[in-house]
Chain A
Amino acid sequence: MKIPLSWLKNFINLDGLSVEDIARKLTLAGMEVDEILYAGLPMPTYKDGEKHEFKTNGIGWDKDKVVVAEIREVKPHPNADRLTLLDLYDGQQEQVVLTGAPNIFHLKGTGKLPKPIKVAYAKEGSTLYDGHADGLVLTTLKRAKIRGVDSYSMVASEKELGISEEHDGIIILADDAPVGMPLVDYMGDAVLDISILPNMARNANVIGIARELAALTGRELKQPNIQFVTSGDSVNELVEIEITNSELNPRFVAGLIRNVEIKPSPYQIQRRLRLAGQRPINSIVDATNYAMIELGEPLHAFDYDVLKERADNKKIKIITRAAKDGEKLTTLDGAERTLTSMNVLVCDEKGSLSLAGVMGGSESEVTDKTKNVLLEGAAWNFINIRRTAKQHNLPSEASFRFSRGVHPALAEQGVKRGLQYMAEWGGGVAAPGLVDEYPLKLKDSVVDVTSQDVKRLLGIDLTLEQISELLTRLEFKCEITNTHLRVAAPAHRMDIDEGVVGLADVLEEVARSYGYDNIPTTTIADALPPQAGNPIHEWEEHLRDLLVALGLQEVVTYRMTSAEKESRVVKYDDYVRVANPIAPEKSVLRRNLVASVLDALEKNIRLGETLSLFEIGSVFEPVKNDLPNEWRRFAVAMTGLREATAWDVKASPKLDFYDLKGRLELLLSGLRLTNITYAEVDSAPYLHPGKAADVKVDGKVVGVFGELHPLVKEKYNSLGDGPILVAEFDLEILRRVNPTYGITPVSEFPPVYEDIAIIVNDAVAAAAVEAMIRQTGGKTVTSVRLFDVYRDEKIGVGKKSLAYSLTYQAEKTLTDADAAAIRTKIVKRLEHEFSAKLRS
């Protein structure tokens, strides 16, 4: 919402406040100023190191160098047909100014003008925008010879002065513009570009912002002075209104003005409209837009004579109703639109005229030939307008306002203001009276407020008088009783409720009016609830820390993926499907976390010699027509070199199954889990069948890991040439297995270390041998570490040697003989169980 400062000043005295002061007050009160455009008023200058406050744009006009001047004669240029020389008086002296402006070209050679033309004159040395450059390029006027004539100054266009992009001709000011006056004093301006919050639609207009500023500064709001002359037959005799659904159309007001002249609006009106982001059209259309920007009520002008003809010169009957599905209307942008029952139409007895609150129809629109205008101001259901504007992709100034709610009270005020401006700028005379159907009167909310409420919710001590004063500034009607303040919302607000919600609505206004900055900062006095932490969250964070300590990089991927992408790893029959995906590859919620981490791995495959990635996150299991199950998982994907290469580490082996297994073992021990077993994998077809394992704790599967199946790897474009190791664990299950706490005391007595190597058949699992050693060795064997696996013809085909480092430890000093006795027992047992042979 662009608000020119000069317009605001029609309604509030802003003397003594800089543009920045005003912008700051509005910003802090919830009307954030995104940008200030200077269109003449001096821009603040920031020295290096000085604080900027707002994004600024535009230029300030030099008081001495840019002034109001008058053109007295338009003479031909001696050497150029398309240029003219102007005899101009700038209030001090006569000047000859060269111009190519087309909008005075027709006066060339007509001699001394009967009435001088007032223009914006920029003297030598003034800095303006270059009118001929693309975009906004500053330039300083210098003396030059153009086709043999001295040129040192110019008459300016809007673009050159930074008012708009307009460069089709020079600005022609009103006849009463005082010659010699600095232009900045005559029409210097600044525009505040304000973001309008959804609950502040009431402020999407000049008077709304002026009212807020009045409240914020304690100054008086000058109400608009709406006055105009009327004559002829009353509009009530000529027009009637039928509202078929008051929920859709709570109020409809219409006024009539006769004998208007379709012509350009006064320059200052055009300038303000341009600054506010509107394109000036003509006196009638400009009046509707100007009144809307000023007061907030969108207006629609019909060509009265078209309506009258359609009514066969009888009384015009305006009917508002919901459209029929499939009904058609050609809007004034020329598009034929197919309507649905959520759209609302303004019709007459012949048919539809306009798409209510959004856009007029082409047949009844105002044209250059229009003489008499029927002016509509109405209130519409904001939901219908919102959906209609969206459906037909018609965002407009009108639908912006109506879709956020415009108070029905504004309809009457808006129509009157529109008629006033049409009369002023188009020269017509309004018919007496207004037709006004108002079947659904909006009741202004009433809320009772006490000082205790203010204390309880805002934390400040205010008397009822003080509260009343703060709210009255915003035009709330306040009545003080013995116990409370009775507050009635003003007749332009639809955002104030009643009851406990109304209280919050009103207290927000008290706080804004009081100033958020003025409210103290305190510490909560209320009791702190018991601090119990969040064990599940903490456990998950601990898991994250362990994974990082094991050298894994965390990734976070999109939850949205596609069934095709995931099917490379696992195929699922059904998914949680996104109804409105932004892209086909983000059309379902993931079910498998390995697929997510593999995507990240593939992306980075050329970026590191070793990649070890993990993710902790949710996967989503569909439940028909209900909320899905969300399961927390963690997944790992690794590939690359075991050692980081260095200048003396040339060839590192590639990561394989046992690298991943080792990390998982450390992870589980970090989680204090014991009784862990590894078994042939049951349910992970995406893994290499011979290089994969289920991880069990207390016999229960908590996760699966292994090397990616070669066929799965093939489905990816580039996963490199080394083995891809992956793991996936279910956090819910992992978290529920019981950790073992407590530590084994460290013995004071010296341990005995001993290595033994045994030869067994290849098929014997290492874990079985180790388990047997531990079982046979009993408590005295405190550590069994496999340090070598060796296969050789000398040992025998189909055989392997397993070498173990044993640690014997007891609560006494063990002798070699003690150790030897246990060793003999172990070897005997292994010979018996596995036909093992001790390797000498």
Chain B
Amino acid sequence: MLDKLKEIEKTALESLQSITDQSALDAWRIANVGRSSPLMMVFAEFGKLSKEEKPVVGVAANRVKVALESALAERAEAVKNAALAKSLEEEKLDVTLPGRTKHIGRLHPSTQQLRRVLDILAEMGFQVYTSREVETDEMNFQMLNFAPHHPAREMQDSFYIEAEGREENPILMRTHTSPGQIRAMREAVASNPQNPPPIRIALPGMCYRYEQITARSEIQFNQVEGLAVGKNITFADLKGTIADFVRRMFGEGARLRFRASYFPFTEPSAEVDVECFVCGGKGCQVCKNSGWLEILGCGMVHPNVLQNGGYDPKIYSGFAWGMGPERQLMLRNKISDIRYFWGNDVRFLEQF
């Protein structure tokens, strides 16, 4: 009987070897471990065995049963894996075919840059203040310490608006966002005339200058200014605030320098250069070989401007700085022609 069991096991395992699909596997199971398989017949005839044979054959038959079942399970797993592998192979795609796209929207690059700047300013406590784009000469120039015929007016040639009887105070397109400084200060003073509150604002918006439109000059451009007014605000605070802004804007370790400069509405005034982020200061086309990029103008708010805003310059002081988002984008992205911005060619816009 033990020989028979051995024979059953050997034949069954041998026939299992060549099975590669599920139906053959099912047939093998019926034939070898099914109810009427030779092995089961051994169990069926168990009662006929002698008392001595019973335990020996019983153990052997069980061992064969376990062996066949586990061999079956193993084979079943292999067959399943082979089938899966085959179907995966058959489903293979050309992954280099282009995907199906969607028409997606984007913000204009100037808006993106304005947001970067305004987000930083908001973190620093400077909140957005917007004001009108068409202004009076008084607000755009006189209140900001540009006397009539002042040479500095030549730096900001203006578009004038047709109006009669306004020779003393013509209407013009604002040349900078600075008239907002006066408007914001006056609003703050009106809110508490006895004790005007401190001011920390960011003034973004479109500005206009009379220029020919060329690769380097445009008639309209965005500007963002920061303004702080309060008590005991110093030039050292200005330097600290600008350094903080530059660090957030251009990254830790961005070197900067303050160069004395002139703006009618600030005194002392400075231009701020950052080390050229294109060449790392070695000198390149973008920085015109100087290693520095002029990125913003700043200064202590001129006493006349404070006065015009309603803040007594003997008690209050402040600083302001201004910069151009388009210029920043041009430097950062090596854009050589400013006309791209209002050209609105989607091939340009889609790159941002």
Q: Do A and B come from one complex?
A: yes
**A57-90 interface code vs B (CB 8 A; 1 in, 0 out):** 0000000000000000000000000000000000
Residue from A503, A550, A578, A610 within 8 A of B160 (CB atoms): A578
**A760-786 interface code vs B (CB 8 A; 1 in, 0 out):** 000000000000000000000000000
The complex places the Cα of A365 from the Cα of B219 at a distance, in Å, of 43
Decide: B152 and A528 in contact? CB cutoff 8 A. no
Check A501/B101 contact, CB under 8 A, given A54-B290, A507-B268, A548-B107.
no
* B125 CB contacts on chain A under 8 angstroms: 528-529, 531
Decide: A582 and B98 in contact? CB cutoff 8 A. no
Decide: A548 and B106 in contact? CB cutoff 8 A. yes
Decide: B103 and A508 in contact? CB cutoff 8 A. no
Decide: A646 and B105 in contact? CB cutoff 8 A. no
Decide: A607 and B347 in contact? CB cutoff 8 A. yes
Which stretch of A169-177, A457-465, A469-477, A728-736 is in the interface? A457-465
* A533 CB contacts on chain B under 8 angstroms: 122, 127-128
The complex places the Cα of A555 from the Cα of B313 at a distance, in Å, of 42
Decide: B232 and A52 in contact? CB cutoff 8 A. no
The complex places the Cα of A771 from the Cα of B100 at a distance, in Å, of 38
Decide: B160 and A579 in contact? CB cutoff 8 A. yes
* A576 CB contacts on chain B under 8 angstroms: 134, 161
* A524 CB contacts on chain B under 8 angstroms: 228, 230, 233, 237, 240-241
The complex places the Cα of A528 from the Cα of B111 at a distance, in Å, of 27
**How far does the Cβ of B68 sit from chain A's closest Cβ, in whole Å?**
49
Decide: B151 and A386 in contact? CB cutoff 8 A. yes
B206 within 8 A of A: yes
Check A28/B149 contact, CB under 8 A, given A53-B290, A553-B105.
no
The complex places the Cα of A558 from the Cα of B339 at a distance, in Å, of 11
The complex places the Cα of A270 from the Cα of B211 at a distance, in Å, of 37
Residue from A403, A556, A625 within 8 A of B111 (CB atoms): A556
* B130 CB contacts on chain A under 8 angstroms: 534, 536-537
Question: Which residue of chain A has the shortest Cβ distance to B131 in the bound complex?
Answer: A630
A519 within 8 A of B: yes
Question: Which residue of chain B has the shortest Cβ distance to A549 in the bound complex?
Answer: B105
* B261 CB contacts on chain A under 8 angstroms: 30, 197
Check A560/B219 contact, CB under 8 A, given A457-B317, A551-B105, A630-B132.
yes
Decide: B163 and A626 in contact? CB cutoff 8 A. yes
**B251-295 interface code vs A (CB 8 A; 1 in, 0 out):** 000000111111010011110000000000111000011110000
* B162 CB contacts on chain A under 8 angstroms: 577-579
The complex places the Cα of A553 from the Cα of B97 at a distance, in Å, of 26
Decide: A504 and B300 in contact? CB cutoff 8 A. yes
A803 within 8 A of B: no
* A93 CB contacts on chain B under 8 angstroms: none
The complex places the Cα of A505 from the Cα of B266 at a distance, in Å, of 10
Decide: A534 and B129 in contact? CB cutoff 8 A. yes
The complex places the Cα of A298 from the Cα of B300 at a distance, in Å, of 34
Decide: A555 and B349 in contact? CB cutoff 8 A. yes
A456 within 8 A of B: yes
Question: Which residue of chain B has the shortest Cβ distance to A541 in the bound complex?
Answer: B115
Check A50/B231 contact, CB under 8 A, given A521-B239, A604-B344.
no
Check A52/B282 contact, CB under 8 A, given A533-B127, A560-B219.
yes
Decide: A558 and B237 in contact? CB cutoff 8 A. no
Which of A512, A521, A627 is packed against the most chain B CB atoms within 10 Å?
A: A521
Mark out the residues of chain A between 593 and 646 whose CB falls within 8 Å of any chain B CB in the assembled complex. Answer: 600, 603-604, 607-608, 610-613, 617-618, 620, 625-628, 630, 644, 646
* B208 CB contacts on chain A under 8 angstroms: 559
Decide: A627 and B171 in contact? CB cutoff 8 A. yes
Question: Which residue of chain B has the shortest Cβ distance to A455 in the bound complex?
Answer: B234
* B161 CB contacts on chain A under 8 angstroms: 576-579, 589, 628
**How far does the Cβ of B122 sit from chain A's closest Cβ, in whole Å?**
8
**How far does the Cβ of A621 sit from chain B's closest Cβ, in whole Å?**
11
A466 within 8 A of B: no
**How far does the Cβ of A466 sit from chain B's closest Cβ, in whole Å?**
16
Decide: B151 and A403 in contact? CB cutoff 8 A. yes
B50 within 8 A of A: no
Decide: A556 and B345 in contact? CB cutoff 8 A. no
**How far does the Cβ of B123 sit from chain A's closest Cβ, in whole Å?**
11
Mark out the residues of chain A between 541 and 555 whose CB falls within 8 Å of any chain B CB in the assembled complex. Answer: 541, 544, 547-555
The complex places the Cα of A559 from the Cα of B303 at a distance, in Å, of 34
* A531 CB contacts on chain B under 8 angstroms: 125, 127
Decide: B101 and A556 in contact? CB cutoff 8 A. no
* B300 CB contacts on chain A under 8 angstroms: 457, 504
Number of chain B residues close to chain A: CB under 8 A: 104
**How far does the Cβ of A516 sit from chain B's closest Cβ, in whole Å?**
4
The complex places the Cα of A552 from the Cα of B106 at a distance, in Å, of 7
Decide: B159 and A625 in contact? CB cutoff 8 A. no
The complex places the Cα of A298 from the Cα of B276 at a distance, in Å, of 40
**A22-55 interface code vs B (CB 8 A; 1 in, 0 out):** 0000011110100000000000001001111111
A200 within 8 A of B: yes
The complex places the Cα of A501 from the Cα of B261 at a distance, in Å, of 17
Decide: A630 and B160 in contact? CB cutoff 8 A. no
* B233 CB contacts on chain A under 8 angstroms: 524, 526
B136 within 8 A of A: yes
**How far does the Cβ of B139 sit from chain A's closest Cβ, in whole Å?**
9
Check A387/B155 contact, CB under 8 A, given A459-B235, A524-B241, A589-B134.
no
* B155 CB contacts on chain A under 8 angstroms: 198
**How far does the Cβ of B161 sit from chain A's closest Cβ, in whole Å?**
6
B213 within 8 A of A: yes
**B233-248 interface code vs A (CB 8 A; 1 in, 0 out):** 1111101110110000
Decide: B289 and A582 in contact? CB cutoff 8 A. no
Check A551/B160 contact, CB under 8 A, given A512-B260, A558-B219.
no
Question: Which residue of chain A has the shortest Cβ distance to B166 in the bound complex?
Answer: A625
Decide: A604 and B346 in contact? CB cutoff 8 A. yes
* B110 CB contacts on chain A under 8 angstroms: 556
Check A522/B314 contact, CB under 8 A, given A53-B290, A586-B219.
no
B197 within 8 A of A: yes
Residue from A382, A528, A560 within 8 A of B200 (CB atoms): A528
Mark out the residues of chain B between 139 and 176 whose CB falls within 8 Å of any chain A CB in the assembled complex. Answer: 148-152, 154-155, 159-166, 171, 173
Check A526/B231 contact, CB under 8 A, given A52-B283, A501-B303, A516-B270.
yes
B28 within 8 A of A: no
A404 within 8 A of B: yes
**B203-221 interface code vs A (CB 8 A; 1 in, 0 out):** 0001010111100000110
Decide: B235 and A552 in contact? CB cutoff 8 A. no
Which of A577, A627, A648 is packed against the most chain B CB atoms within 10 Å?
A: A627
**How far does the Cβ of B209 sit from chain A's closest Cβ, in whole Å?**
10
Question: Which residue of chain A has the shortest Cβ distance to B99 in the bound complex?
Answer: A646
Decide: B234 and A457 in contact? CB cutoff 8 A. yes
B250 within 8 A of A: no
* A46 CB contacts on chain B under 8 angstroms: 283
* B213 CB contacts on chain A under 8 angstroms: 582
Decide: A612 and B344 in contact? CB cutoff 8 A. no
Decide: A521 and B236 in contact? CB cutoff 8 A. yes
Decide: A200 and B234 in contact? CB cutoff 8 A. no
Decide: A558 and B342 in contact? CB cutoff 8 A. yes
The complex places the Cα of A412 from the Cα of B314 at a distance, in Å, of 39
Decide: B105 and A649 in contact? CB cutoff 8 A. no
Check A550/B105 contact, CB under 8 A, given A558-B220, A559-B206.
yes
Query: Given known contacts A507-B268, A519-B239, what 15 new A-B pairs fall within 8 Å (CB)?
Result: A27-B259, A198-B151, A503-B303, A521-B239, A523-B241, A524-B240, A528-B198, A529-B198, A531-B127, A558-B219, A560-B220, A578-B162, A579-B162, A646-B101, A647-B97
Residues of A within 8 A of B (CB): 27-30, 32, 46, 49-56, 197-201, 382-383, 386-387, 403-404, 455-460, 500-501, 503-505, 507-508, 511-512, 516-517, 519-529, 531-534, 536-537, 541, 544, 547-560, 576-582, 586, 589, 600, 603-604, 607-608, 610-613, 617-618, 620, 625-628, 630, 644, 646-649
8 contacts between A and B (CB under 8 A): A30-B259, A501-B302, A511-B235, A524-B228, A533-B122, A549-B105, A555-B344, A608-B346
Smallest CB-CB A-B distances: 7 pairs? A459-B236, A52-B283, A459-B234, A30-B260, A526-B230, A548-B105, A508-B268
